[in-house]
Amino acid sequence: MNEDWEEIRFTSNTGLTLYARHYGSPVKGQRPVICLPGLTRNSSDFHDLAVFLANHPSRPRDIYCPDYRGRGESDWDPNWRNYSPFIEMLDVLDLMAIRGLENASIIGTSRGGIIAMLIALMRPNALSALILNDIGPEIETAGLARIMGYAGKVPVPTSWEEATDLVRSMNKRFFTNLDDDDWETLARQLFKEENGRPAQAYDYKLGNALSEIDISQKIPTMWTQFEAVKRVPVLVLRGEKSDILSARTVLEMERRHPRLASITIHAQGHAPLLKDRFTLGIIADFLRETDPDSMHTPETQPSAPHLPRIAT
């Protein structure tokens, strides 16, 4: 067992064994956080953030990081059509019910933000603050096409050196400030390790689910679902080089949501890695400002949390 987290295994409504990490806080009482990863990603993406928040000097809090079905340490689903945001939302709600998590904060990266907006619509009392990491109600076609081009198609490298080179070559134009150690760390998040070598970290049949999207047609938006998050404060993190979330969409989100703050993460694309001290501090400040004991009354509540516009 890793000393940083507790392993949680639970049974889904379709009989799969699903996995989550729980980073326990030494002091209880603060609102917990649930971290939801991107399409092909898993709980390891949030390790640095989870350790930071769980051991925060003034406001430590419990952090839960699930692996969706077909990712990380969770079972693969024999029916690939269950790899859908709605089914994955039900799995997250099951974890929340098992752990008694209500009015939690949710941090959703990409696919995770879509699931969070569905939770806001289907189970309003489940969350009380939301951080959307490089995702919004509109997805840019170019970015979606890029993801469709690699999801379920990237060969498993034969060594960690090869894995690092592969990850660097696929992402270097979106993340321009990473060094060799950063690229290796990212590679070890994207692939599991078996017998000292990289191994597949998600079910490649996820690509089947994506293949049903026709990008030659207008991609459906989620503005209706976004309306459901207007009852809670929202922080949007957008990668400066993102090809998924446009600056135009962020501006429209700000126009529609009076309690939304947005931050541009310098020299990062889709999706910001949530590792640098600036971004970690911004997230911690947002969670602190929106904790129930810190919130203003409706009459005096500011239009958005007081945060900088750009993290460098």
pLDDT digit string (tens) for the chain, length 312 residues: 578 999 999 999 999 999 999 999 988 889 999 999 999 999 999 999 999 999 999 999 999 999 999 999 999 999 999 999 999 999 999 999 999 998 999 999 999 999 999 999 999 999 999 999 999 999 999 999 999 999 999 999 999 999 999 999 999 999 999 999 999 999 999 999 999 999 999 999 999 988 888 888 888 999 999 999 999 999 999 999 999 999 999 999 999 999 999 999 999 999 999 999 999 999 999 999 999 887 654 433 444 555 555 554
- Domains assigned to the chain: 6-152+221-311 (3.40.50.1820), 153-201 (no CATH)
State the helix-helix crossing angle for 180-190 and 160-171, rounded to 10 degrees. 100
Q: How far apart are CA 230 and CA 239, in angstroms?
A: 22
Long-range Cβ contact pairs of 274-281 (< 8 A, separation 24 or more): 274/45, 274/46, 274/48, 274/49, 274/107, 274/109, 274/133, 274/237, 275/48, 275/49, 276/311, 278/311, 278/312, 279/237, 279/311, 280/48, 280/49, 280/52
Asked if 70 and 206 touch (Cβ cutoff 8 Å), the reply is: yes
Q: How far apart are CA 165 and CA 282, in angstroms?
A: 31
